[in-house]
Structure 1
Amino acid sequence: MQDRVSLYPGRVKLTPVAGQANTYDLTRADQPTQEGTPLNKASLLKDTTASAFGLGTDAVPDDALHLLSRFQRGLGNEYIWAKEQWNWEVVKSNSTYSLILVQSGNTNRTYVRYSDDIILDSDGNISLAEPITQIYPTYNSAGSLQLDNKYVQLSSFSYADAEVHPVRFSDGVTFVSGNTYRLTYRIVDALHRRTLFGYVNSPSPDAYPPAVSDGYTYNPLGQLGDKVRIATGSYTGTGTYGSSNPNSLTFSFPPEFLVVSPNQEPYRLFLVRGMTKSNTSPTGGSGGNVAVAWDGSTVSWYGDSTGGEAYLQLNRRGTPYFYFAIG
């Protein structure tokens, strides 16, 4: 923002209002060399800025400052939710399949119901919209029943039972021979898919309870400062080993799990926080025994077996070692 710079600071001009006693119009007469930034809503809190904070057009600067104060108290203390919507979506398989249809017979014949469209309910169930039912004896090799690009549902009736098939998308029916036909189709299915609209946060763990009914689902993800952290890196062995020369790694967080490995050698170190002993040898021999210490964000270890070597402590001179830590 810029200050107003005037040749005559504070100077104003009073002009009498005609016909109104003791009433004047006041205008600035300070002759500014720099106008300065006007003191108005657009300068102090634009509507677009208020919207970015999740505030309405009636918000005042203090409302935005109040939200910013939460960062001063510690961003890691904020609770976070994923703002989602779950919807059923119809998908068709890319692969095609075929099924033999029976026109008539003593034990079985196929009925077909078909439609140009389908209905998908809130539970993911698919049904035909205003279906047409056709009994297959009316179908002939000339193709009196056209099923290209239709949604179809078949029913096979026998003496004992009636089996209703799921809705499928038909690529057409071809005549085979006698009373049989071949339906080529693609599988129609309903998938429950998530759409992520971003994340919301609040200092209160109850700000977005499951009962919020604004059309979204809020999936609680805990506190920001409570998230899993990962660190990777490497070091080059110095050739030393033993209790007077431990290996040590320090992280920006207290690690809960640590893996250390050279590039090609078979020796490895797997540590879970709290372990005081481990072994680097792939065969578990006593020569690979190491003592482990945990101190906040630092992990250290050394070979504690008689006759140990630097390579068993994962510190062979000139050898690169790689580590992976989770906290």
Structure 2
Amino acid sequence: MNKTANFQLTQWEKTDRIMMEDFNRDNAAIDAALKSSADKVAALQTALASCGNCKIVYGTYTGNGKYGRENPNKLTFNGDPLFVIIKGSIGSAPTFGIQAMRGWDIAYTDATDFSTICYLTWGEHSLSWYNSQSSTDQFNESGSVYPYIALFATQE
């Protein structure tokens, strides 16, 4: 009498005598395996339901040419984003941009020169930033349009 590789279920050949004990043992093993799988699926569904989801908000803003501590830029959201990315103005050469994670108070804005910094302030439903060197480094050149994307954790 042969057995299956995974659950050792009986595999009868034509010459084997079929025994009730073998049949009942196989059914009990199948039942236990199905119950274990169902329990694991239910546990994963419960865990996944508590993880929530990710909401993505995107848009643009137009720069006004100002910069510095007294002239911060500000994006306001419907909720508190966990991560915000602001890129260089539309139509300009690709730039590193501002990558801001909630809790960070600075963001480096140049991939080759880590001395270019925007100072970040996280408010209720908002992100503000400034750079003390130039409106270009603050991503706020007058008339330039800047795209942004914000990621939010949601509970559904």
Q: TM-score, normalised by structure 2?
A: 0.63
Counterpart of 2:140 in structure 1 is 315
- Alignment of 1:278 with 2:134, yes or no, is no
1:315 is paired with a residue whose SS is: coil
Question: CA offsets, 1:260-316, max 9 Å, x none?
Answer: 002233241111111111221232253x21111111211110003xxx110100001
Query: What is the 5 A alignment of 1:113-192?
Result: none
- Alignment of 1:241 with 2:67, yes or no, is yes
Whether the 8 Å CA contact 1:267–1:314 is kept in 2: the answer is no
1:248 is paired with a residue whose SS is: strand
Report the CA distance shift for 1:279/1:211 in structure 2 as closer, same or farther (over 3 A).
closer
Distance 1:319 1:281 in 2: 18
Whether the 8 Å CA contact 1:267–1:312 is kept in 2: the answer is no
- Give the alignment partner of residue 86 of structure 2, picking from 256, 260, 271: 260
* More strand per residue: 1
2:137 is paired with a residue whose SS is: helix
Counterpart of 1:231 in structure 2 is 57
Between structure 1 and structure 2, the one with the greater Rg is 1
TM superposition shift of 1:252: 1.2
Distance 1:279 1:245 in 2: 19
Counterpart of 2:121 in structure 1 is 293
1:222 is paired with a residue whose SS is: helix
Unaligned runs of 5+ residues in structure 2 are: 7-12, 14-37
Aligned pairs, how many? Answer: 112
Counterpart of 1:89 in structure 2 is none
Query: What is the 5 A alignment of 1:20-169?
Result: none
Structure with the bigger RCO (C-alpha within 8 Å, sep 6+) is 2
Unaligned runs of 5+ residues in structure 1 are: 1-120, 124-129, 131-209
Counterpart of 2:18 in structure 1 is none
Paired amino acid for 1:275: W
Distance 2:127 2:143 in 1: 21
Question: CA offsets, 1:154-181, max 9 Å, x none?
Answer: xxxxxxxxxxxxxxxxxxxxxxxxxxxx
Distance 2:67 2:122 in 1: 18
* More helix per residue: 2
Counterpart of 2:49 in structure 1 is 222
- Alignment of 1:325 with 2:150, yes or no, is yes
Paired amino acid for 1:320: V
